[in-house]
Amino acid sequence: MECILFRHGIAIEPEEWKGTEEDRPLTDKGKKRTRQAAQGLAFLGCRPTHLFTSPFVRAYDTARIIRTAVCPHLTIKARGELAIGMRPEHLVAFLRTLPRDAVALCVGHEPLLGEVVSLILCGQVLSTFPLKKAGAACLELTNGVKPGQARLRWWLQPGQLRAIGPRASGTQSE
């Protein structure tokens, strides 16, 4: 199994948003940069079999952008295990329910995603693995989804994903 964890793109700052936290959207810049980062995922040859997202608007919209660039045939499934306030053990337990040959692309929030990475890689929840907005990590789980049993395939900052994507698609950066 492979698990690609992708943090949502740049969203409107909480103090600038009048609505609920769940409805806080991506900015125009966040949409643009997420689109470029998604092109980087496509260049890397990411072929997810499952696309999961937090139900929060900024994560769901990020998943929609990724779906367009990487896996238009997949249905986006919102999962509470990816929402803000969830514990990493909840997402790990959910990942265990997927087939061993799955390639799960999960869009969510910090600190949850970094904590999941640390749990799966190191066997404990640490705060030293934060993903930047529109950044991603890919974990290989050959022995099942068990704490301390994963291998890090790659970890890419958003700028690295953006640099890969436009060059690969033959378009200029916006």
CB-based contact 3:128 (threshold 8 Å): no
Q: Report the CATH number at residue 129.
A: 3.40.50.1240
Query: What is the pLDDT at residue 121?
Result: 94
d(CA 113, CA 43): 23
C-alpha 164/C-alpha 174 separation (Å) is 14
Return the pLDDT at 144: 85
What band does 171 get if pLDDT is binned at 50, 70 and 90? very low
Within a domain: 174: no
141 domain residue, yes or no: yes
Residue type, 122: C
What are 132-157's pLDDT values in tens digits? Answer: 999 999 999 988 898 899 999 999 99
Q: What is the tens place of the pLDDT at every residue in 97-131?
A: 999 999 999 999 999 999 999 999 999 999 889 99
Q: pLDDT tens for residues 123-134? A: 999 988 999 999
E-assigned strand segments in the chain: 2-7, 50-53, 76-78, 103-108, 136-140, 151-156
Residue 158 lies in a domain: yes
- How many domains is the chain partitioned into structurally? 1
pLDDT band at 173 (very low <50, low <70, confident <90, very high): very low
CB atoms within 10 A of CB 93: 12
Q: Does a structural domain hold residue 113? A: yes
Q: What is the pLDDT of residue 165?
A: 77
Residue 60 belongs to what domain range?
2-169
